[in-house]
Chain A
Amino acid sequence: MKNVFRQGPITSEFIGNSIQKHQSKTSIGAHNIFLGQVRADQIENKQVTAIEYSAYEEMANKKFHEIREAAFEKFELTCSHIYHSIGKVGVGEICLFVFVSAPHRKVVFDAIEYLVERIKKEAPVFGKEIFEDQSHVWKVNK
């Protein structure tokens, strides 16, 4: 089972390298990317400075695998990749990177939405929103 989790933020260098790796796959005509970024939310007059992610990693990796497989069945994709942060990610940093590629553009728009929505809803990942004074609240996906 592929491990989707990466320690800390997902860097723009990592994202750039992932794009570059696909240059040899010349049947691809369209990529689409979703990047989740940590927001500096205001909660009861306190500002979020980071989210610390934890997960039921074994189940989450199985779930990510299942979601990817379902996307391949549903859409005509050449490639699909998911990376999610584990541990602390500061505001403005990237915590989720979803990347799909296909011969033609139409499916990549639908596929990225399908993947991201299922990840948000089904992956057992938990996030602690940490404030400047080190107190915290637990985040819940809407």
Chain B
Amino acid sequence: MTINILYFGLIAEAIQCTQEKLEVGKTTSIKEIKKLLINKYNVLEKLSYQIAVDQKLVNDHQIISKTSEIAILPPFAGG
């Protein structure tokens, strides 16, 4: 299935991309997504980030579905 991934701030700058579509298996966990992304962008291994699925922070065990919007979020700096 195709998933939509958004990148923000420092992460978007480091990988030179703010949004892309990725092809993944039907039942894919966040852990697997992370592995896939680190393979594609080695620099991610050294960076700190959280992942949101459909605008909620999730842990590595979360399984994503076709409609999920995945966001890779660097440390927050509001205010």
Contact = CB atoms under 8 A, between A and B. Distances in A.
Interface of A: 36, 53-56, 58-60, 62, 84, 95-96, 116, 119-128, 138-141
A140 B77 contact: yes
Given A53-B78, A141-B78, 6 more contacts: A54-B9, A56-B6, A124-B8, A124-B52, A124-B76, A126-B10
Interface of B: 6, 8-10, 13, 52, 55-56, 71, 73-79
Given A128-B9, A138-B9, A58 B55 contact: yes
Contact of B9 (A84, A95, A120, A126): A126
A127 B55 contact: no
Contacts, number: 71
B6 A84 contact: no
Given A128-B9, A138-B10, A56 B77 contact: no
Given A56-B6, A124-B8, A126-B9, A139 B77 contact: yes
B9 A122 contact: no
Nearest to A95: B79
Contacts of A59: 52, 55-56, 71
Contacts of B9: 54, 126-128, 138
Contacts of B78: 53, 55, 60, 84, 96, 119-120, 123-125, 127, 141
23 contacts: A54-B9, A55-B8, A55-B78, A56-B52, A58-B55, A59-B71, A84-B78, A96-B79, A116-B79, A119-B78, A119-B79, A120-B79, A124-B52, A125-B76, A125-B79, A126-B10, A126-B76, A126-B77, A127-B9, A128-B9, A138-B13, A141-B75, A141-B77
